[in-house]
Structure 1
Amino acid sequence: MKRTHLPLNALRVFDAAARHLSFTRAADELAVTPAAVGQQIRALEDVLGVVLFRRTSKGLELTEEAMAGLDPLREGFLHFEESVRAMQAGQASHRYTIAAPRDFFESWLGPRLAAFRAANPEVHYALLDGEAADFTSANLDLAVLWAEGPGDLEGVMIGEPARWRVTAAGKTEDDEATCILWPGDPAAEGVDEPALSVADAGQALAAAAAGLGVATVPALLAESWIDAGRVEPLGEPVASRRAYWLVAPTPQWRQKKVKALVAHLTSA
C-alpha cells in the first residue's frame, strides 16, 4: 500500500503551537520566528483542508478537527522517538566485527584492541582474517587494508606510508642476501620464480629475523620488531605508495561505536 506523504516538520510545529496555544512561544521552543510558525500552520491547513486554530478575544483556540488529531499525533511522535532509540541502541552495541590481515593483527592491531577492551570491558570482538573486506556478506564494522587509499569506502590512514628494509639482528647488508618477497611488496611484481617468497609481511619479518634474507615490509609492522631487537633496519625508511587504512562504508563510519574505536586506534 502506498504511504501518504506526511508533512512531518509542519506537524511538529503544530504540536508545539497546540501545547503553548501561542505561535510566539512555539517559535521560541523551535528556535524559529513566529512568522515561520504561522507559515507552517497555514501550509498544514492547506494540505489537510481544515482549520486548526481560531483566534478569540482570549487568544488561540484549537478547532474540533485539531483536537481530534492531536492525541494520535503525539502518540505517533512517541513511536518515532522509540524507533530512533531502537536504532541508536543497535549502533551503540559493544560488538565489533573487524577484518584485518593476520600479520597486522599480531604486530599492531591486537595490542591496541586489548587496550581498548581494558578501558571498555563490555566490548566483544569478532575478528576475521584477510584483506577481502566484504561489508555485505560479513556484516563488518571495520576492515584494515594495505592499499594506496580507501577506494570507494570511508577511511583513515594508520601511521605513515613507509617501508623498512630489515635483516636478522646483528647482521649488515650483504649483496648476496636473498630478497624475501611477499604479496604487496612492489619488489615482488613481475618476479616469476623468487628465491624466497612468503604469504605476508609478517612471515617476511619472521624469515628475515631467522637469517633467511632481507625483507622490505610496512614500517608500522617493522617498528615493534626493530624495537624488540628481533630484526635490524637497513638504512632509513623509504616512502611507499601503500599504507594501512581503516575502512568502512559511510553508514558504518557514522556509528558511535566505530567512531570511538577509530579514535582510539588513531590516537597514538
Structure 2
Amino acid sequence: MVAGLPSLNGLRAFECAARHMSFTKAAEELNVTQTAISHQISRLEDELGVQLFLRLKEGLTLSEHGQAYLPGVRAAFHELRYSTEQLLASSNNSVLTINTLVSVASKWLLPRLPSFQQAFADIDVRVSASTDLVDFRKGGIDAAIRYGRGDWKGLRADFLMSDEIFPVCSPALLNGAKALSVPADLAHHTLLQVSGVTADDWGTWLSAAGQPAQLAAGPRLTFDLAMMAVQAAIDGQGVCIGRSTYVDDDLRAGRLVAPFDLRLQDDLGFYLVTPRETAETKKIVAFRTWLLAQR
C-alpha cells in the first residue's frame, strides 16, 4: 500500500471515470486514450492495494472500496478547482460580481450604484439578479444581497436593513368617490401583493390595523416580483402592500404615497453575504463599506 499520496493523474482518472461510470467518457474529457485511463486507474489500484472498480460484462461499477474513497477524492478536486478559481480571480480585482433579487436590484441597488462607481472607478461592477440562493463556489459570484436572518453557514453576513410593511398607492387614489382616508376604505380597492415569502403581508397588516379578515379576501392582483406590484400601484391599478426597500424611492419622488400611518417592522432583513475566505479582499471591503453607508 502507498505510504504517501498516490498519483495525481491516477486520482484524476478515478474521479472522472467514477463521475461518468465510463473509461471511454473519462478519456474524452481528459483528452487521452481509453487505454491510458485504464492504465492510470490500474496503477492507482496497485498503489493503494485495493480494487476501486468492478469490470463487469454489463458495465463498470464502483467496488466497496471505490464507493468509500470517491467522496473524499471528489471533495479534494472540488477544493482544488475552487482554490484555483479564487487565485485567478484575485489577480483581477477590477471585477466585482454581485448577486441579488431582481426587485432589490431594480428598486434599490441600481439607483445607488452610480455613487459607488464614482468612488471606485477602477472596479467593474457586474450585477446578477435571480431568485435562487447563489453557490459562491460554482457561480463566479463575489458577494450577494440576501433576505433572511443572517445565519447562512460558512458565510459572512453583514446586516444592511430590514423592511417596514405598509400600504402604498398612487396619489390619485387619495381623491374622488373612493378616496382612501381610513383602512376600511380598502374594501373599495384592488389589493396588490407579491407571491412567495411576502404573500401574507396584507393579512398581517390588516390584522394589526384592526380590520376584519374578510377585507383581505377581496379583489387582488398577485405578482411574482415586487417591482411589478409597485409599478401597478404607481399606475393606479390598486393599493400595494409595500415594503420600504422597494417603495421608499418612489415615495420620495411622489410617485407613491402612504395613505395610513401604521407601519409594521419585519423581523427578517437584508444582508450582504460573502464567503469567509474572500470577505477581506480589497474590492469586497470597498463594496461593503460603501453599502453599509447607504443604510
Instruction: Compute the TM-score of the two structures, normalised by the length of structure 1.
Output: 0.61
Distance 1:134 1:217, change over 3 A: farther
Q: CA deviation at 1:146?
A: 2.4
Q: CA deviation at 1:267?
A: 0.8
Q: What residue is the counterpart of 2:171 in the other structure?
A: 169
Q: CA deviation at 1:138?
A: 0.9
- 5 Å-filtered alignment, 1:215-230, equals 215-230=240-255
Q: CA deviation at 1:154?
A: 1.6
Note the alpha carbon deviations across 1:129-180, whole angstroms, 9 max, x for none. 1132221221211111222334223212222332232111242433222221
What residue ranges of structure 1 are gaps of 5+ in the alignment? 4-85
Asked if the contact 2:172/2:236 (under 8 Å) is kept, the reply is no
| Residues in 1 aligned to 2:151 and 2:288: alpha-carbon distance in whole angstroms | 15
Q: CA deviation at 1:99?
A: 0.8
Asked if the contact 2:97/2:143 (under 8 Å) is kept, the reply is yes
SS class of match (1:136): helix
Q: CA deviation at 1:91?
A: 6.7
Q: What residue is the counterpart of 1:110 in the other structure?
A: 110
Asked if the contact 1:167/1:214 (under 8 Å) is kept, the reply is yes
Q: What residue is the counterpart of 2:200 in the other structure?
A: 187
Q: CA RMSD in A?
A: 3.0
Asked if the contact 1:150/1:247 (under 8 Å) is kept, the reply is no
Give the greater-gyration-radius structure (CA): 1
Note the alpha carbon deviations across 1:88-141, whole angstroms, 9 max, x for none. 991770211111122211222113322111122221122211132221221211
Query: Which is further off, 167-176 or 133-142?
Result: 167-176
| Residues in 1 aligned to 2:126 and 2:217: alpha-carbon distance in whole angstroms | 37
What residue ranges of structure 2 are gaps of 5+ in the alignment? 6-85, 175-179, 204-215
Instruction: Compute the TM-score of the two structures, normalised by the length of structure 2.
Output: 0.55
Note the alpha carbon deviations across 1:2-45, whole angstroms, 9 max, x for none. 59xxxxxxxxxxxxxxxxxxxxxxxxxxxxxxxxxxxxxxxxxx
Q: What residue is the counterpart of 1:264 in the other structure?
A: 290
Q: Partner letter of residue 93 of structure 1?
A: N
Identity of aligned residues (%): 21
- 5 Å-filtered alignment, 1:200-219, equals 200-219=225-244
Q: Partner letter of residue 185 of structure 1?
A: T
Q: Partner letter of residue 136 of structure 1?
A: R
Asked if the contact 1:91/1:255 (under 8 Å) is kept, the reply is no
Asked if the contact 1:98/1:140 (under 8 Å) is kept, the reply is yes
SS class of match (1:263): helix
| Residues in 2 aligned to 1:2 and 1:118: alpha-carbon distance in whole angstroms | 53
